[in-house]
Structure 1
Amino acid sequence: MTSQPFLKVPKARPGDRVAVLSPAFAAPAVSEAVHEQALKRLTELTGLIPVEYPTTRLLGASAQARADDLTAAFADPTIRAVLATLGGDDQITVIPHIDSTVLAANPKPFLGYSDNSNVHNLLWNLGVPSFYGGSTQVHLGPGPHLDEIHLISLRAALLDGGVLELTDPGESEDFGVPWDNPRALNEFGVREPSEPWTWAGSEIIVEGRTWGGRIEVIDQIALADRMPPTESLRGAILLLETSEEAPSADKVKRWVRGLGERGVLEVVAGVIVARPPVSTMHSPLPGADERAQLRAAQRDTVIEQIARYNSAAVVCVGVPFGHTRPQWILPHGGTITMDGRTRTIAADYT
């Protein structure tokens, strides 16, 4: 286990208020219908009451204004959790404006992924655990219903706690129906069977606190000199995922290799890599064979680079978190156990 001390974060209860914020991109401004359906489902399925802030639906809000909303949500004792509507690409500019002393003094669950890796990293450095995943605009609002694994992990993160074994739902989509299409409210995107997870490294049991996120954002965090001390990651479980920009295997190789040269791969006990999106909404959909080849190329280069720096680490590639749906919400700063013998992963949402 890592030596990094972490605070205890209390769970919410039905009837409590939770903040729904846009600390990166204000996706609700693009489709208020999807956003409204997400808020309705959140209350119906958890009993929690969503509370919006000034920048939740405001496109082009300044970094200061978005930071003020996040700080205010943590400062408010009646707000029991904070959910991000979506990711984005400039949250790195928001971080300096957040009052970190308020976040540390008022720990509460924060849910988000992608560009929200910036906030997760800030919380890690403050000793506040959070949950990597969840998007009101992607996983709560669109489609005919919530995916089962998403609902289970959403409730575990916000309300129930407990230890859950991660499972493969058997299908996946890279993206859904465009939000400006009325079908987005009641149809999933193009789904295909998911590949079996690939295990590599040692056949042992490792347990550690998780750290990581979207690898393109980790690159920015490193350049901004906001990474945790490498030694604080000793024994941790590293979470890595790529975005809807569908980077090539060569780009992913360079990012993972950079983590190796920094010393991160050497000290972690295990690595969990998400099933990557390999198609985008704005380009022709590759054929099934090409999609499988693109995923295999990324899988192979990640495993190769990790083995180069830490052949003893337990590695699992293809887990449905990050930029995929169905999606598991995973503890960030919480504990995950990887069993390389039985090839199982258990996440603690306490």
Structure 2
Amino acid sequence: MSQERVRPPKARPGDHIAVISPSFAAPGLFPELHEQAMRRLADLTGLVPVEYPTTRQVGAAPAARAADINAAFADPRIRGILAVVGGEDQITVIPHLDADLARADPKPFLGTSDNTNLHHWLWGLGIASFYGGSSQVHLGPGPTVDDVHARSLRAALLTGERLEITDPGESEDIGIDWADPRALESFGDREPTTPWDWYGPGRTVTGAAWGGCLEVIEWVLTAGRFPFPPDVLDGGVLIIETSEELLPARNVGWIVRSLGERGILGAVDAVLVARPPVSDFTRRPDAAERARLRAEQRDTVVEVVTRYNPDAVICVGVPFGHTRPQWILPHGGAITVDGAERRIFADYR
């Protein structure tokens, strides 16, 4: 199987975009935040959000959530699909999906975290997607939408341009609790970022991206839903990030080690590691401890990747995944990692 994925055609202003809850139906519990997200989505893209029966249905059965995904692919008016947020049980939705519908009319799919399941399902069908873009996290909260998120959202859905992935200069691990009215107008606690860390040879790699949330990748592999030889990822760019579960660095290292044993680390030419969250609503270490936890995860991941692939270009600290502001990145599309100039570019075609 080639790395090349079908790149779904872009939407145009006025087209419809499906807004679905394949995992946790957060809009059912936090409707005001969701509705603000939908207004901002329409303003930023010119697209018309379309909700489905389970978009706001908390606790909907996996088959019902899958029916919404199938309906979105089946409807020719829908020209993009956006997951509202992640969760922890999307793995049970995947068996109910209709592959023929997705193949017949591929559409840009955007989602993060638990949506790694859907990204890998689409990848296995030969369809590219975009990792990131949870409306409940990146569009609804705060006084505005972060610039890097807005730019990559439009590129993924509408323009298909090539963008340089840059550091926005600030980051937050967790926003304000969605049940708090202040979440509609305030960001969470943001702190200045530090420069990204680069390792490996000073060469330039351009390859198809594959990866997502490490915890979910582990589930996908355990369920046997990546039944391909590792050489299908030859020359690719591995993108990995960790969730708000705040895994200890050693546990992160164990998952990455399994990717090495699976042959995945040896196949790719570059690895992008996201800036990890190290605090949540109940745990907020001081600044020095937060820096130590990030450094511990960085050093663990770099050591494991280098052990399996000393020629890989590695960059740690890239803003995607579970911190904010966040870039949406191609999944199956091309990313260029320039180890000499220490720059990253993403192709949103």
TM-score between the two structures when normalised by the length of structure 2: 0.99
Shift of 1:228: 4.9
**Equivalences for residues 269-308 of structure 1 within 5 A:** 269-281=269-281, 283-308=282-307
Equivalent-residue separation in structure 2 for 1:41 and 1:160 (angstroms): 18
Q: Which amino acid aligns with 1:67?
A: A
Shift of 1:57: 0.3
Q: What residue in structure 1 maps to residue 250 of structure 2?
A: 250
Q: What residue in structure 1 maps to residue 211 of structure 2?
A: 212
Equivalent-residue separation in structure 2 for 1:96 and 1:181 (angstroms): 36
Shift of 1:284: 3.2
SS at structure 2 position matched to 1:144: coil
Shift of 1:100: 1.1
The number of residues matched between the two structures is 348
Residue 339 of structure 2 corresponds to residue 340 of structure 1: yes
Cα distance per residue 1:12-61 (max 9 Å; x no partner): 01110000000011011121000000000111111100000000000000
Shift of 1:5: 3.5
Q: What residue in structure 2 maps to residue 8 of structure 1?
A: 7
Shift of 1:145: 0.1
Q: What residue in structure 1 maps to residue 86 of structure 2?
A: 87
Equivalent-residue separation in structure 1 for 2:195 and 2:300 (angstroms): 17
SS at structure 2 position matched to 1:80: strand
Q: Do 2:3 and 2:332's aligned partners in 1 also have CA atoms closer than 8 Å?
A: no
**Equivalences for residues 54-73 of structure 1 within 5 A:** 54-73=53-72
Q: What residue in structure 2 maps to residue 325 of structure 1?
A: 324
How high is the sequence identity, in percent, across the aligned residues? Answer: 61
Shift of 1:311: 0.4
Q: Do 2:82 and 2:133's aligned partners in 1 also have CA atoms closer than 8 Å?
A: yes
Q: Do 2:337 and 2:345's aligned partners in 1 also have CA atoms closer than 8 Å?
A: yes
For structure 2, which runs of at least 5 residues remain unmatched after alignment?
A: none
Q: What residue in structure 2 maps to residue 190 of structure 1?
A: 189
CA distance 1:228–1:113, change in 2 (3 Å): farther
Equivalent-residue separation in structure 1 for 2:302 and 2:26 (angstroms): 34
Shift of 1:345: 0.4
Equivalent-residue separation in structure 2 for 1:253 and 1:5 (angstroms): 29
Q: What residue in structure 2 maps to residue 166 of structure 1?
A: 165
Per mean C-alpha deviation after superposition, the further-off stretch among 247-256 and 223-232 is: 223-232
Q: Which amino acid aligns with 1:252?
A: V
Equivalent-residue separation in structure 2 for 1:183 and 1:4 (angstroms): 44
Q: Which amino acid aligns with 2:252?
A: V
Q: Do 2:4 and 2:332's aligned partners in 1 also have CA atoms closer than 8 Å?
A: no
Q: CA RMSD in A?
A: 0.8
For structure 1, which runs of at least 5 residues remain unmatched after alignment?
A: none
Equivalent-residue separation in structure 2 for 1:228 and 1:335 (angstroms): 22
Q: What residue in structure 2 maps to residue 107 of structure 1?
A: 106
Per mean C-alpha deviation after superposition, the further-off stretch among 177-186 and 224-233 is: 224-233
Q: Do 2:7 and 2:129's aligned partners in 1 also have CA atoms closer than 8 Å?
A: no
Equivalent-residue separation in structure 1 for 2:238 and 2:276 (angstroms): 16
Equivalent-residue separation in structure 2 for 1:223 and 1:37 (angstroms): 38
Shift of 1:104: 1.3
Q: Do 2:176 and 2:183's aligned partners in 1 also have CA atoms closer than 8 Å?
A: yes
Equivalent-residue separation in structure 2 for 1:346 and 1:194 (angstroms): 19
Per mean C-alpha deviation after superposition, the further-off stretch among 97-106 and 117-126 is: 97-106
Equivalent-residue separation in structure 2 for 1:226 and 1:93 (angstroms): 12
